[in-house]
Amino acid sequence: MDADERLRLIEKDLAEIITSEELRARISEDRELRGYIGFEPSGRMHIGQVINVLKVIDMTRAGVKFLIFLADWHAKINDKFGGDIEKIWICGDYLRHCFLGLGIDPDRTEFLYASDIVNRSEYWEKVLQISKASSLSRIRRAMTIMGREEDDAELDFSKLIYPPMQVADIFELEVDIAYGGLDQRHAHMLARDAAEKLGWKKPVAVHSKLIPSLSGSGRMDTAQKKMSKSDPRSSIVVDDPPETIAEKMSMAFCPQSEVQDNPVLAIAELLIFPSRGTFRLNRPGKYGGDVLFSEYSELENAYASGKIHPKDLKENTARELSEMLEPVRDHFEKNPDPKRRIEELLLGGEK
């Protein structure tokens, strides 16, 4: 695979790249690139996170060695599982198995916990340097990366440590590409600004779109209207059985002919087309019959023009998604313990 092919594969389906020129320059270097994405072990994996998995697979195919960073200390700061690190590790192991079930290449991917690096004095020196290079207001603005409001720091000072730690992760791991959803943009831009002030190598920041909440709720802020595991009604979990996926999809926000912030169309655009290449609409002949869409734009135009009823879109999206996630369910049938342990935690009321 030449440099242009690698660049196309990395860029495919991304919402933004900061910057494309820097990414092209890194690819042209005669060395293996290192990519990174951070996940806070905080519950079951929902389909919004599968977007990230698909892109990590693309990047590893393009020759990038990828670090999947399981941010256990960050989850502790963010009060996940009551701050119990042992429970956070149980969730981290479950997430690792989700990645494997979704087809991550274990030879091109490394799983790393924050606990693996926080005992290094050099790491905390970076946290201090980043903090000194950043204003308090800038750190507060970056708190949305952890699903928090700026005012939350008034109740718990540790929340202000989270953004400098996330930025320090990037530099301690010496990554070329920092990847995440658009909700992680604040952290990645903070890293690039700190790098410029401190004379460090800037990470290329690449971001994917977010799937809106199934309920269609949320204000205009990107992080607030995304799918979230904290509201079971708003999300689909990667190991949900087909009947649960169908039930949740049937209740999804999906107004007739409306495409803006439509979570059902977003699932088709961001998950089904990238992973399966097509979308098959099955319906009775009296309602238009079966249609095979080879491009997302065709499906969107057909829905916008009223040629597809919301019920048909929901039912077919649920079927396509369920088929796409079948390898995850198969993986947990063969490896049941990680799923059993996280379910026991959540049944016990842990969040």
The stretch 169-178 carries a mean pLDDT of 97
Give CA–CA dist 239/268, Å, rounded.
18
Residue 11 CB burial class (10 angstroms; 0-12, 13-18, ≥19): middle
pTM of the predicted structure, to 2 decimals: 0.91
Residue of higher predicted confidence among 160 and 231: 160
| Span 241-324 CATH architecture | Orthogonal Bundle (1.10)
Residue 351 has pLDDT above 50, yes or no: no
The per-residue pLDDT for range 329-339, each reduced to its tens digit, is: 999 999 999 99
pLDDT confidence of residue 3: 92
Residue 219 has pLDDT above 80, yes or no: no
Other beta carbons within 10 angstroms of residue 335's beta carbon come to: 13
pLDDT confidence of residue 154: 63
pLDDT confidence of residue 1: 83
CATH number of 3-208: 3.40.50.620
Question: Which stretch of 30-34, 130-134, 151-155, 199-203 has the lowest confidence by average pLDDT?
Answer: 151-155
pLDDT confidence of residue 147: 63
pLDDT confidence of residue 156: 80
pLDDT confidence of residue 348: 78
The per-residue pLDDT for range 64-74, each reduced to its tens digit, is: 999 999 999 99
pLDDT band at 278 (very low <50, low <70, confident <90, very high): very high
Q: 188: which 2 tokens?
A: 């990645």
Would strands 177-181 and 204-208 be described as parallel, antiparallel, or unpaired? parallel
Residue-range domain boundaries for the chain? 3-208, 241-324
Instruction: Check if 3-208 and 241-324 are the same fold.
Output: no
Helix ranges restricted to H, 29-182: 50-61, 72-77, 85-101, 121-132, 136-141, 162-172
Residue 8, SS3? helix
Residue 217 has pLDDT above 90, yes or no: no
